[in-house]
């Protein structure tokens, strides 16, 4: 159970990418999952390295990572090229 928080964050990121892909008309799960993964990494970086509100051995960084994923997905679908 040492890496359960990492697994939960990854599954949450994939779930968020799937939901975003469904809500935007199924434009491509690959791009949405890539953006979601980058958002997870950014949220983790903010929680652990920048603001130091958490360490990797606690679950506090997981909501930060999921929030970063939501922000990245929202900006991706807001500013993407619609040709």
pLDDT tens-digit series, residues 24-38? 887 789 999 999 999
pTM of the model: 0.89
The pLDDT, as a whole number, for residue 70 is: 98
6 has a pLDDT exceeding 80: yes
> Cα(34)–Cα(54) distance, rounded to whole angstroms?
24
Q: Cβ of 54: how many Cβ atoms within 10 Å? A: 19
| Cα distance between residue 69 and residue 41, in whole Å | 8
């Amino acid at each position: 159970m040492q890496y359960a928080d990492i697994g939960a964050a990854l599954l949450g990121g994939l779930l968020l990418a799937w939901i975003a892909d469904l809500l935007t008309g199924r434009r491509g799960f690959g791009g949405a999952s890539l953006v979601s993964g980058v958002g997870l990494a950014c949220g983790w970086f903010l929680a652990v390295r920048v603001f130091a509100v958490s360490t990797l051995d606690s679950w506090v960084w997981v909501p930060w990572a999921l929030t970063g994923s939501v922000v990245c997905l929202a900006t991706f679908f807001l500013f993407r090229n619609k040709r």
